[in-house]
Amino acid sequence: MHPKPISDLAAIVRLAAVAIGALCLFATTACRTPDVQASASPHLYQAMKNPTCVTREVALPKEYDHGSSAKQALRLTLVNVKKPVSDTSYRVFLNKPEATGATPAADDHCLGSLSFYGLASENDFVLDAGQTLDELRKDAGYKPSETVTITLVPVAGGEPIQLDELQLVIPN
């Protein structure tokens, strides 16, 4: 059976409108990452490029001394990370919002990785952020600020990480 020819200009316009609407809907849903904070986030564009990556801005503790050249302990806690459906693990990057699954773990900004094992369906994870931030601070090009970005990247194409919160604290 041959498709019905579209001869009506109005029908063409309606079809075009539907198509544009669908594209807009796709752009605002399929490319949206679940944990990018606000639509005005400067990381939104990057998040749309890497839809499985999650980037958040996290405040440094007030006690953190930006001017110090000494080593400073700093702990990143990922609060209530949901166990992924797939068997993916995640890499964690500091101040690397452009990180993707192709960014190597040897990157200067990589804090480490995490995998699920055990019974819990959600759990906190604790990583050392101090070593990486210390090393970045030695870089003359790095300007410390009161916030850093944390980017969570699934390895090998897994689903985006789901979690409640990211915290940076100075451990006791």
Q: Does 51 bind another protein (CB under 8 A)?
A: no
Beta-strand ranges (E) seen in the chain are 54-59, 75-82, 90-94, 110-114, 122-128, 147-154, 165-169
CA gyration radius, the chain: 21
Binder among 29, 30, 62, 117 for another protein (CB under 8 A):
117
Report the candidate in 131, 125, 144 with the shortest Cα–Cα distance to residue 76.
Answer: 125
Rounded Cα–Cα distance for residues 79 and 124 (Å): 5
How is residue 88 written in tokens? Answer: 């993916």
Binder among 27, 105, 142, 145 for another protein (CB under 8 A):
105
Nearer to another protein, 84 or 144 (CB): 84
Q: Does 124 bind another protein (CB under 8 A)?
A: yes
Give the residues across from 123 on adjacent strands.
81
Q: Does 136 bind another protein (CB under 8 A)?
A: no
- Give the binding range for another protein (CB under 8 A) out of 6-14, 52-60, 113-121, 144-152: 113-121
Beta strands 110-114; 54-59: pairing state: unpaired
Number of residues that bind another protein (CB under 8 A): 31
Binder among 120, 142, 147, 165 for another protein (CB under 8 A):
120
Q: Are 55 and 151 in contact (CB under 8 A)?
A: yes
82 phi, psi to nearest 5 deg? -80, 140
Binding mask 23-42 for another protein (x = CB under 8 A): --------------------
Q: Does 114 bind another protein (CB under 8 A)?
A: yes
The contact set with another protein (CB under 8 A) reads 73, 75, 77, 87, 89, 91, 104-106, 108, 110, 112-120, 123-128, 130-131, 135, 155, 171
